[in-house]
Amino acid sequence: MRLLEAIVDANHRALAGDERAGLRPADFAGSLPVVVLTCFDPRLHALMPEVLGVPERDFLWLTNAGAVVTGPQSETARAVALACAVEGGREVVVLGHTDCRLFAPDRREAVARFRQNGADLGAAATALDDFLRPLFNERLSVATAVGHLRASPFLPLAIPVHGLIVDTDTGRLDWVVNGYGVSSPPARQAPLPPAGAGLP
Ligand SMILES: [Zn+2]
């Protein structure tokens, strides 16, 4: 079993009552530290990094609103890539969660809440609307984030990018994307034509 498969397996066995279930980090030294992008929801603080079974020294934690990645070269994609290039992250997990309050309100309601909060949005309401657009489905958002990271020119293909959802009540992990064996993302299969080549 590889690192993330062992993490999910240990998680499920522990929830089923197996008191001996747990990860032996020494068995996965070549796959650690792991970079984990989550939502900033404070309920996750109590779960990290224990729900993954990795020690704090092997856990590089990035958070934002909804664990969203908006593009292969977005700020979050660059932060994840830096965590790998500079801090030595060997695998990446986009970890969404159940009952994410950011996904609950519709866009109009969210904009209204900003205004109730005293924000003078003006023309920026459109930009806020663009930001809120990916926040409509937790699983799809995780899959989209994984796709953007996998297509990122900053992140080498040798680093697996996975997607999981954690249940904030039980701590159960569920797969969205198993990133092992993905060696050639569609977005990078077709090389761009050289500059000046022109179209047929
Ligand atoms: Zn959330």
Instruction: Answer whether residue 190 is part of any domain.
Output: no
34 CA to centre of ligand 1 in angstroms = 20
CATH label of the domain that carries residue 42:
3.40.1050.10
In a domain, 8, yes or no: yes
The whole domain housing 15 covers 3-101+136-183
User: What is the 40 CA–ligand 1 centroid distance (Å)?
Assistant: 6
Secondary structure string (H, E, C) spanning 65-102: HHHCCCCCCCHHHHHHHHHHHCCCCCEEEEEEECCCHH
Give the Å distance between the CA of 102 and the centre of ligand 1.
6
Confidence of residue 114 (pLDDT cuts 50, 70, 90): confident
pLDDT digits (tens, 9 = 90+) for 125-163: 888 877 777 777 899 999 999 999 999 999 999 999 999
d(CA 80, CA 92): 8
What element of type H or E holds 59? strand 59-64
Read off the pLDDT of residues 179-195 as tens digits, 9 standing for 90 and up: 997 766 554 444 444 44
Residues with CB under 5 A from ligand 1 (ion): 39, 41, 100, 102
Residue 57 lies in a domain: yes
